[in-house]
Structure 1
């Protein structure tokens, strides 16, 4: 498959959320899947994947004992930890130091466990809407994330996300004019925001060293396996082949009645489309 290595995100094996204490303590705020990460890894490996991505909260749970349980899980399943996902508001100067310190801890964990990528989302959208200076603040913060990652031998990626100030194609272009960080396209989020994910891959090819493929259905709004719904991931796969992409691809699905089946279905779709491309 064009040299691609396939990973899957562990976020489907339980409800998604964050650490509630982060509401009052920015330095403790992290993403989290409230589920069995060992089970997720076993089923991801059994589905045929070679790598896995975790949220920062799930990884940082193991820092007290040098990630012994997670190291054992990775060794037993043969999976590589490809990426750790974190994020922040990034536009509020008073809390930025705390946010970056927390992301630094996630990067430390990623480095210790041999990951290649540090992926961040964020860029808070104010209740009153985005202000022009918010993009400059976000870009400056993302450049600091790049420095955090590079100091640990990691590649930093920015993941545009619904509910942030970087959703639409114009907003994606605006932020990448201001920051050097890599681009981790999440195809479902890009499509749901009105974008053409394949065109965005082509237009930002030089920035892409890691990819999230996800399916999305417009009505009712829901995320689905990669080959289903209204996001043309087949076109994305053709675009990735056309630009000569040869890195990791992480299939992702936020919630599904049978997570293992969703992982298998998504992998089969990518393999079939890659073979046709």
Structure 2
């Protein structure tokens, strides 16, 4: 048999620009010019901001900057214009929610439904979601917590399917699922006919969970990938863990093993390179990650390379 070939397109997340106050339109133009077929970006709704402030250990933050409807629509227009002018596809908007708080779930689900409508307009096929109240030391999630979370996520996935979009849950630091053990318990509560996963290699690596093994074991559920690298140091706490993220190939994540597995399995979904606030310029970090992927024999857009 001939050797397996890469089927998955590689995109890039706008975080390195977006989280540091740089120009998203310039970032989109830069990524398109490099040949990326996809980009992902945070939705940045007020619910996202509330979740981040309440649960994520990101250190001191400036006063709340209320996101008006005008600013949110302008943000969407920047993504639309970038897609229209540069031919680079929005793969997903990233959204957080609590899921287990019935006092807010109706609003969260309405927020999701609006985002789904927006993604349909962009021609996107996935909705990447994170969040859920994280466990705290000495107080792990209960079975009831997993039941409640699974019920809400299943509801979201069923709704997404009506729009022709696949919702994927992203295990992440400071969320309901940070570790392999938590992921295993959650999957037991999911409707596998509609629910799916986004595996982020760095966030799982930070908790000593093996992303290669997780992708292999849950391959049928994995519909979206975040290719992300990190240093791992158990002395790091709070926002220092997020500052340990690095360019592909520079950290502890077995990116080569992950991508080899994806090629072997014939994975054809998005694989999005991500780095939050880079220690270098966003552009330099992007170029270094591309160089590493190319050293593994990968291309950004296999469809265009044929």
TM class by shorter chain equals 0.7 to 0.9
* 2:112 counterpart residue number: 103
Residue 232 of structure 2: aligned partner: 218
Q: Structure 2 CA distance, aligned partners of 1:102 and 1:153?
A: 17
**Gaps in structure 1 of 5+ consecutive residues:** 17-33
Q: Distance in 1 between matches of 2:25 and 2:132?
A: 31
Hey, what does 2:88 align to over in structure 1? 79
What is the count of residue pairs matched by the alignment? 258
In the aligned structure 2, how far is the partner of 1:218 from the partner of 1:241? 26
Task: Quote the offset at 1:62 in angstroms.
Answer: 7.1
Query: Structure 1, residues 137-186: CA drift from partner, whole Å, max 9, x if none?
Result: 11111111112211211111010011123111111111112113111100
Alpha-carbon distance, 1:57 to partner: 2.4
What TM-score does the superposition give when structure 2 sets the normalisation length? 0.78
**Hey, what does 1:48 align to over in structure 2?**
35
Contact 2:18–2:24 (CA<8 Å) still a contact in 1? no
Does the aligned pair in 2 maintain the 1:107–1:152 contact within 8 Å?
Answer: yes
Q: Which residue of 2 aligns with 1:241?
A: 263
SS in structure 2 opposite 1:53?
A: strand
Is the partner of 1:185 in helix, strand or coil? Answer: strand
Q: CA RMSD in A?
A: 2.3
User: Structure 1 stretch 242-251 or stretch 206-215: which is displaced more?
Assistant: 242-251
Aligned counterparts of 2:31 and 2:223: Cα–Cα separation in 1: 22
Task: Give the Cα–Cα distance (whole angstroms) in 1 for the partners of residues 122 and 222 of structure 2.
Answer: 23
State whether structure 2 residue 270 is matched by structure 1 residue 266.
no
Contact 2:79 2:90 in 1 (8 A): no
Do 1:6 and 1:251's aligned partners in 2 also have CA atoms closer than 8 Å?
Answer: yes
**Residue 92 to residue 73, structure 1, CA distance change in 2 (3 Å):** same
Distance 1:67 1:167 in 2: 30
2:122 maps to 113
Task: Tell me by how many angstroms 1:66 deviates.
Answer: 11
Q: Is the 8 A contact 2:7 2:263 kept in 1?
A: no
**TM-score in terms of structure 1 length:** 0.86
Larger Rg: 2
The answer to whether the 8 A contact 1:237-1:274 is kept is no
1:177 aligns with 2:188: yes
Relative contact order higher in (CA < 8 Å, ≥ 6 apart): 2
Match of 1:7 among 7, 11, 20: 11
Alignment pair present for 1:159 and 2:170:
yes
Q: How far apart are residue 228 of structure 1 and its match? A: 1.2
